Amino acid sequence: SQTIHQWPATLVQPVGSPLSLECTVEGTSNPNLYWYRQAAGRGLQLLFYSVGIGQISSEVPQNLSASRPQDRQFILSSKKLLLSDSGFYLCAWSVVGGASDTQYFGPGTRLTVL
Amino acid sequence: SQQGEEDPQALSIQEGENATMNCSYKTSINNLQWYRQNSGRGLVHLILIRSNEREKHSGRLRVTLDTSKKSSSLLITASRAADTASYFCATGAGGTSYGKLTFGQGTILTVHP
């Protein structure tokens, strides 16, 4: 069966510090991968998606970047965090060319920027 | 901007009652999905309905889709305290959209024992 991991679970960082959040998927190959941010427990905003190694698409301009160095690894980064980067970050995967767009989510990372 | 908009934003009911949540969207879709999120956790897929379907059931869940009105509803029958969570609708365009979904703002459901 497929599983998706995210770490760390929580993170408190000062403004201006760098960020690296990691997401890995097990039990599937060549998945679509997604990074979302959720503010105040409400709607999800799609930040990045990837259809393959090294292929990253950004949905909104921002202080963050993403990379996919391996097939089942997705990394969210920032060189200098802003207060507005605080939120709940969710990674998800879906089957490439699947019959549906169903996404499977990780447990999330709670980021607080002080 | 968010494609899906849920209504109501919050719903409080007693155990055993039915809970109905609505979702509206703006553009053509291939499918509409409902997800559940317990506090501080990731989202869990509940049910998917395709654009050529009008109603779908899964256990205590019933989803309807009206593409002419660009709306969907999720009914949870005989609710339980464990159903307390946030519920999100998400629309998928299918085709070459790379599986991307657009999520609504969610409905916070509280079921009192």
Tell me which residue of A104, A102, A91 sits closest to A6, measured CA to CA.
A91
> What is the spatial distance between Cα B37 and Cα A43, in angstroms, rounded to a whole number?
11
Give how far B43 is from chain A: nearest CA, Å. 6
Which residues have C-beta within 8 Å of that of residue B39, sequence separation ≥ 6? A41, B85, B86
Inter-residue contact B31 to B48 (CB < 8 Å): yes
Mind listing the pLDDT tens digit for each residue in A59-97? 887 889 999 999 999 999 999 999 999 999 999 999 877
Partners of A25 on chain B (C-beta within 8 Å) are none
Q: State the nearest Cα–Cα gap between B44 and chain A, in angstroms.
A: 7
Provide the pLDDT for residue B1.
37
Contact A96/B at CB under 8 A: yes
Show the low-confidence residues of chain B (pLDDT under 50).
1-2
Q: Taking a C-beta distance cutoff of 8 angstroms, is the pair A25, A70 a contact?
A: no
**Using one digit for the tens of pLDDT, what is the confidence trace for A14-63?**
999 999 999 999 999 999 999 999 987 678 999 999 999 999 999 887 88
> What pLDDT score was predicted for residue A25?
97
How many angstroms separate the CA atoms of A54 and A74, rounded?
10
